Amino acid sequence: MPKTFFIDTSRCTACRGCQVACKEWHQHKAVPTKQTGTHQNPPDFTPFNFKIVRFSEHKIDGQVKWLFFPDQCRHCLVPPCKDAADAYVPGAIVLDEPSGAVLYTDLTKKLTIDQAQEVHDVCPYNIPVRDRDSGLLTKCDWCIDRQQAGMLPACVKTCCTGTMNFGERDDMLALAQRTLAKVKERHPQAQLLDEEYLRVVYLVTEPRNLYHEYAERRVPNRGPMSRQAFLAMLARPVTRMRG
Amino acid sequence: MTQHWIDIKNADVVLIMGSNAAEHHPISFKWVLKAKDAGATVIHVDPKFSRTSARSDFHVPLRSGTDIAFLGGMMKYILEKELYFKDYVRDYTNASFIVSEGFSFKDGLFSGYDPATRTYDRKTWVFDKDENGVVLKDKTYQHPRCVFQLLKKHYDRYDVGTVSAITGVSKENLLKVWDAVAATGKPDKAATMMYALGWTQHSVGVQNIRCAGIIQLLLGNVGVAGGGINALRGEPNVQGSTDHALLYDSLPGYNPVPVAAWATLADYLKANTPASKDTKSVNWWQNRPKYVVSLLKSWYGDAATAENEFGYGWVPKIEPNVEYASLFMFDKMYKGKIKGGFIYGHNPAMSMPNSHKIRKALTNLDWLVIGEAHETETCAFWRQPGFDPKNVKTEVFMLPSCQRGEKDGTTSNSGRWHMWHYKGYEPMGVSKPMGWMVVEITKRVKALYEKEGGAFPAPIQNLDWYKEYDADLVARKINGQFTRDVTIGDKQYKKGDQVPAFPMLAADGSTTSMCWVYAGSYGPGGNLTKRRDHAQTPMQAKIGLYPNYSWAWPVNRRIIYNRASVDVNGKPFNPAKAVIAWEDGKWVGDVPDGPAAPMADPKGVYPFIMQTEGHGQLFGPGRVDGPFPEHYEPAETPVTVNPFSAQMSNPCMKVAESDMDALAKPGDPRFPIVLTTYSMTEHWCGGGDTRNTPPLLEAEPQLYIEISQELAKEKGIKNGDPVVIESLRGKVEAIAMVTVRMTPLQVAGKTLHLVGMPFCFGWTTPGVGDATNRLTVSVADPNTRIPEYKACLVNLRKADKVTELYR
């Protein structure tokens, strides 16, 4: 049965255990970073960072809000990146039916730089990153190897607060709804993000645009995407979106 | 912790103060969030809005170093509004005890102060006793010298206006916190207090924690589920190393280190074995002779006999009025009085205050041996920036240590759980466990003494030493063994048998134990630290108590002082979260503080068994700087008047004095900003391990300083700008993190800025910055000698160029 992640940011302490566990499991090398006036590092996804915790801070009506968003690929039910890649290199991006994972294969190397950029551009969440050295297009791989061995994804396994959850889709959606009802008591603006379309479902307590640019679904360079536009994009063959 | 991690979930109020629990003890938040799920209010009181604050119901910023004012105000609030738990306070605390007529408190000083030595003669801090030697009590609190009245009088000065003006906390915020915590003074409510170095690292560190003790006793929150005073220990084995006498002033198991005046074992035991004439007081420390003799016996083996006082004469004695703590050890080293030494798993060139002095001090050594997993700033001090190795005479020996995953052994966590861990893989290269290093070095030293003799060879020659390092054998020796066949009650034990628990330890040489509190961890039933069994009774399940999972000291008791969780008849104050209960003539639930019947029974005992008189100490005569906590300013303070007394700083605080130890005067206009230092999730202490762990360095790559938007504007600093921070002792470069999470405070009618910096970045990792502790002061709490890292005075400016940080 296809699975789903449920990420409850109302519990996240930004300990970054998930970010580090992801690196360790994948044996990803560290990338050079600098302090630029924020705790968030690296600043964005890299070919060696499939999971990063995003930090954003606000003072609203005298109240400090420090928001944490453990960001990763959403594993869309109908992934636009796959449509885009299929137009050029079938098999570069596959949907693993049993698990629901959206997986980037070695064939992503065959995408040209422009094609890879196009695949990136159709992602409403700004996830894929092309590794300039290997030519691979990279992102969260669902820890598919761990799961096939009966283990939880590394980020879920390491999380000590209950932020990261993983399981059968029905169970996760039910957990998400239950949690939302409870969280709304203290945070009336809490919501789930695009849960009908994604296998990685976030619960946020504040308006989604406060977290980071791509906590909203977006058409890059065009700003936030309406729900209708989002649905239309999921429904349209990707080739018609070009130009 | 009086409790354990899981127990946090039982709290109705979680007060996190002097701790950034979510960042420094991430696992704690698993349980804080469970408490919150169940409806608890989570409060964070801290100068900085941190990841802990983000998950709390509310955050209250206060000026670093003013916790006693904040908590003293809370005490006044609780007492005036009669929010304390009356039965508990009357029956279980020393509220009713009558204090000696000679005791006084005037203008910031308690009776007995000697300004010449900056110490108290504590002879008036005692209780009046009747003709039988039993403490006089007034359960109605009418007596003007009863503890209750003295406490009330002491904190009468801590009104909300004065507290607000000195702490920088708004009256509204003060009352919000006081109300929430005081609401737990009911039998079925509990507040937990979680603290760490934010309370301890002050010149009044111990008294900060005393405040927590007093408040929790007033509210009846000690011994109950979801209550307690919880020191969050950093590395899992901070607890274990304290139990095993990491500090200079204790022998393993919280026995005092001998001083020269106690020349014989009899002197030592007489001075340190309390007596109570009150038959209901268990006065557990009356057993000290058994624990000390068993300790000596485990050190010296067959050589320790009754005739030679079990080798007491071989134990080093310290001199009175000489400072031995690490702060002063480095002071002596700086002054050329120490020639060489061993440093294991400690990076003082980063983590001790006033780093310039510490680093200079190391150059005065002839030799230095270091056991470390990485080359730290201490290992490499001889080639640090600005030093020419040719001019450093010290010969440094680096012994590569393996990491925890590369060796077997135990750690004791915050909740006193003693847990075995297994070697996961072979040590890298030639690295070895530190235990192996100590065993092998001592073997060779012993052989040399045997061959060559020496000034005083007996202590070394008579050591009952290991043939080789074996973690399992050490664990067995810590538990203790019988040295001969003995019969206790109707049970017989053979020579060499493991001691079942500390009640079987004896003062006659028939037992050994390297740390009595651990007796029972490895008894005849084997190594209980390896247990991972989740079995529990339904009563235990209600409060998340797992008696078969690992082993907790003492005697597998999970919540200490649990006899105070029940009324005098043994009925739980909060039946829904009962810790223990007296049922059908026996205790059920947790392991009780002794098997005696409930207090109301003729054979019953008082609950606070470790206290001589069996009662929780609102009046605490055991601390050197006062029986009640009193607000004093940090050694370096931005204010010029202490509103509570004429005493500016703790009259007993310990100060290392040298030409490199300048202190700014109160309100020094050159240094108007308060600096507080701290750790973070991603790096551990001085950073020696974590800066060498690439994914962690990637996440937190360089030294930063968190400053408010208001201060940044005042100084013309933008987020991400490099800045120079300066104190009277040094300069440090850091990147400005301009943030809404730091707030200017209104203190004594003026706007005061606080800034905060981590101390984990050092020069051996290129371009990350260097020791923040170049700014901090060589001043310490008089009870523990822990340095005042949390408050000193600095100034800062935008840097034109930086050399310590890659840009």
pLDDT in tens, B234-252: 776 889 999 999 899 999 9
Read off the pLDDT band of A224 (50, 70, 90).
confident
CB contact under 8 A, B735 and A35: yes
From B501, B525, B529, B498, select the one nearest B418 (Cα to Cα): B529
* CA–CA dist B102, B364 (Å, integer): 48
Task: Compute φ and ψ for B181, nearest 5 degrees.
Answer: -70, -45
Alpha-carbon Rg for chain B, nearest whole angstrom, is 26
**Rounded to a whole number, what is the distance in Å from the CA of A227 to chain B's nearest CA?**
30
CB contact under 8 A, A64 and B698: no
**Across chain B, which distance is largest between two alpha carbons, in Å?**
80
Alpha helices by DSSP H, B278-362: 288-300, 326-334, 348-351, 355-362
Mutate to test the interface with A, among B172, B698, B710 (most CBs of A within 10 A): B698
**Rounded to a whole number, what is the distance in Å from the CA of B23 to chain A's nearest CA?**
6
> In chain B, what residues touch A54 (CB-CB under 8 Å)?
none
CB contact under 8 A, A30 and B736: no
Contact B618, B151 (CB under 8 A): yes
- For residue B597, pLDDT over 50 is answered with yes
- Average pLDDT of B301-328? 96
| For A60, nearest residue in chain B (alpha carbons) | B740
**Rounded to a whole number, what is the distance in Å from the CA of B764 to chain A's nearest CA?**
16
* CATH 3.90.79.10 describes domain B326-455: no
A24 touches chain B (CB under 8 A): yes
| pLDDT tens per residue, range A38-86 | 999 999 999 999 999 999 999 999 999 999 999 999 999 999 999 999 9
> In chain B, what residues touch A30 (CB-CB under 8 Å)?
694-695, 697-698
> In chain B, what residues touch A50 (CB-CB under 8 Å)?
none
Q: Note the pLDDT of residue B320.
A: 87
Q: Does A128 sit behind a cis peptide bond, omega within 30 degrees of 0 on the bond before it?
A: no
Task: List the structure tokens of B207.
Answer: 């008294």
| pLDDT tens per residue, range B38-62 | 999 999 999 999 999 999 999 999 9
* CA–CA dist B573, B223 (Å, integer): 11
Minimal Cβ distance to B681: which of A16, A23, A58: A16
CB contact under 8 A, A68 and B27: no
Residue B439 is classified by DSSP as H
CB contact under 8 A, B720 and A36: yes
Lookup result for tokens 């981590």: B758
From B274, B296, B276, select the one nearest B285 (Cα to Cα): B274
Minimal Cβ distance to A41: which of B29, B52, B700: B700
Q: Note the pLDDT of residue A74.
A: 98
Burial (Cβ within 10 Å: 0-12, 13-18, ≥19) of residue B451? exposed
* CA–CA dist B94, B151 (Å, integer): 11
> In chain B, what residues touch A16 (CB-CB under 8 Å)?
681-682, 699
- Average pLDDT of B347-372? 98
Query: Residues 173 to 192 of A: which have CB under 8 A from any B CB?
Result: 182
Count of positions (residues) in chain A: 243
> In chain A, what residues touch B29 (CB-CB under 8 Å)?
13, 160-161
Phi-psi region of A200 (alpha: psi -120 to 50; beta: other; left: phi over 0): beta
> In chain B, what residues touch A34 (CB-CB under 8 Å)?
701-702, 806-807
Task: List the structure tokens of B456.
Answer: 């005083």
* CA–CA dist B38, B41 (Å, integer): 9
Q: Note the pLDDT of residue A215.
A: 87
**Rounded to a whole number, what is the distance in Å from the CA of B27 to chain A's nearest CA?**
6
Q: Note the pLDDT of residue A218.
A: 75
- Average pLDDT of B599-603? 97
Read off the pLDDT band of A234 (50, 70, 90).
low
* CATH number for the domain formed by residue range(s) B5-231: 3.40.228.10
Contact A183, A203 (CB under 8 A): yes
From B567, B551, B570, B559, select the one nearest B593 (Cα to Cα): B559
- Average pLDDT of B637-641? 98
Q: Note the pLDDT of residue B589.
A: 98
* CA–CA dist B109, B647 (Å, integer): 8
From B136, B83, B377, B256, select the one nearest B622 (Cα to Cα): B256
Residue B432 is classified by DSSP as B
> In chain B, what residues touch A17 (CB-CB under 8 Å)?
26
**Rounded to a whole number, what is the distance in Å from the CA of B578 to chain A's nearest CA?**
26
Read off the pLDDT band of A232 (50, 70, 90).
low
> In chain B, what residues touch A11 (CB-CB under 8 Å)?
33, 55
From B741, B755, B737, select the one nearest B700 (Cα to Cα): B737
From A153, A190, A192, select the one nearest A176 (Cα to Cα): A192
| Chain-centre distance for alpha carbon B786 | 9
Burial (Cβ within 10 Å: 0-12, 13-18, ≥19) of residue B490? exposed
Minimal Cβ distance to B698: which of A41, A59, A160: A41
- Average pLDDT of B64-84? 98
Phi-psi region of B720 (alpha: psi -120 to 50; beta: other; left: phi over 0): left
Contact A191, A23 (CB under 8 A): no
B720 touches chain A (CB under 8 A): yes
For A47, what's the count of Cα atoms within 13 Å in the CB-facing half-sphere?
11
**Rounded to a whole number, what is the distance in Å from the CA of A58 to chain B's nearest CA?**
7
Read off the pLDDT band of A236 (50, 70, 90).
low
> In chain B, what residues touch A20 (CB-CB under 8 Å)?
695-696, 699
> In chain B, what residues touch A162 (CB-CB under 8 Å)?
30, 33
Q: Which CATH class name applies to B654-798?
A: mainly beta
B704 touches chain A (CB under 8 A): yes
- Average pLDDT of A185-213? 96
Q: Note the pLDDT of residue A1.
A: 83
Q: Note the pLDDT of residue B187.
A: 98
| Helices and strands counted in chain A (H then E) | 7, 12
Q: Note the pLDDT of residue B663.
A: 98
Read off the pLDDT band of A235 (50, 70, 90).
low
CB contact under 8 A, A30 and B33: no
Where does B117-198 show beta strands of DSSP type E?
119-120, 191-195
> In chain A, what residues touch B703 (CB-CB under 8 Å)?
35
Read off the pLDDT band of A243 (50, 70, 90).
very low
Contact B719, B755 (CB under 8 A): no
Q: Note the pLDDT of residue B350.
A: 98
Alpha helices by DSSP H, B613-717: 694-699, 709-715
- For residue B528, pLDDT over 70 is answered with yes
Angle (CA) B162-B708-B688 rounded to 5° is 105
* CA–CA dist B452, B456 (Å, integer): 11
Residue B595 is classified by DSSP as S
| Chain-centre distance for alpha carbon B759 | 19
Mutate to test the interface with A, among B14, B51, B682, B805 (most CBs of A within 10 A): B51
- For residue A241, pLDDT over 50 is answered with no
> In chain B, what residues touch A37 (CB-CB under 8 Å)?
704, 719-721, 735-738
Task: List the structure tokens of B424.
Answer: 């996961």
CB contact under 8 A, A14 and B51: yes
Q: What is the distance between the terminal CA atoms of chain A, rounded to a whole angstrom?
A: 38
Minimal Cβ distance to B696: which of A20, A31, A59: A20
| pLDDT tens per residue, range B149-189 | 999 999 999 999 999 999 999 999 999 999 999 999 999 99
Return mean pLDDT, chain B: 97
**Rounded to a whole number, what is the distance in Å from the CA of B42 to chain A's nearest CA?**
13
Q: Note the pLDDT of residue A220.
A: 57
**Rounded to a whole number, what is the distance in Å from the CA of A218 to chain B's nearest CA?**
27
As beta bridge partners, residue B532 has B549
How do beta strands B580-583 and B586-589 pair? Answer: antiparallel
SS3 A204: strand
B703 touches chain A (CB under 8 A): yes
Q: Which amino acid is at B282?
A: V
> In chain B, what residues touch A42 (CB-CB under 8 Å)?
698
Contacts of B242 (CB under 8 A, 6+ apart): none
Contact B499, B519 (CB under 8 A): yes
- Average pLDDT of B369-390? 96
Percent of chain B topping pLDDT 70: 100
SS3 B339: coil
- Average pLDDT of A95-122? 97
Q: Is the ipTM value over 0.85, yes or no?
A: yes
From B141, B314, B136, select the one nearest B218 (Cα to Cα): B141
Read off the pLDDT band of A240 (50, 70, 90).
very low
Percent of chain B topping pLDDT 90: 99
- Average pLDDT of B491-519? 98
- Average pLDDT of B587-596? 97
Burial (Cβ within 10 Å: 0-12, 13-18, ≥19) of residue A190? buried
B736 touches chain A (CB under 8 A): yes
* CA–CA dist B361, B364 (Å, integer): 5
> In chain B, what residues touch A56 (CB-CB under 8 Å)?
none
* Domain assignments of chain B as residue spans, ordered by start: 5-231, 249-270+284-319+481-518, 326-455, 654-798
**Rounded to a whole number, what is the distance in Å from the CA of B279 to chain A's nearest CA?**
48
* CA–CA dist B377, B385 (Å, integer): 11
* CA–CA dist B105, A223 (Å, integer): 68
A94 touches chain B (CB under 8 A): no
Q: Cα dist. A109→A89, B77, B368, B421, B424 in Å?
A: 9, 69, 55, 44, 37
Query: Residues 141 to 160 of A: which have CB under 8 A from any B CB?
Result: 160
> In chain B, what residues touch A47 (CB-CB under 8 Å)?
none
For B261, what's the count of Cα atoms within 13 Å in the CB-facing half-sphere?
7
Phi-psi region of B425 (alpha: psi -120 to 50; beta: other; left: phi over 0): beta
As beta bridge partners, residue A57 has A66
Q: Note the pLDDT of residue B303.
A: 98
Kind and range of the H or E element at B238?
helix B238-243
| Helices and strands counted in chain B (H then E) | 22, 33
How do beta strands B105-106 and B109-110 pair? Answer: antiparallel
B723 touches chain A (CB under 8 A): no
Contacts of B308 (CB under 8 A, 6+ apart): none
Say what the alpha-carbon torsion angle B89, B91, B95, B98 is, to the nearest 10 degrees. Answer: 170
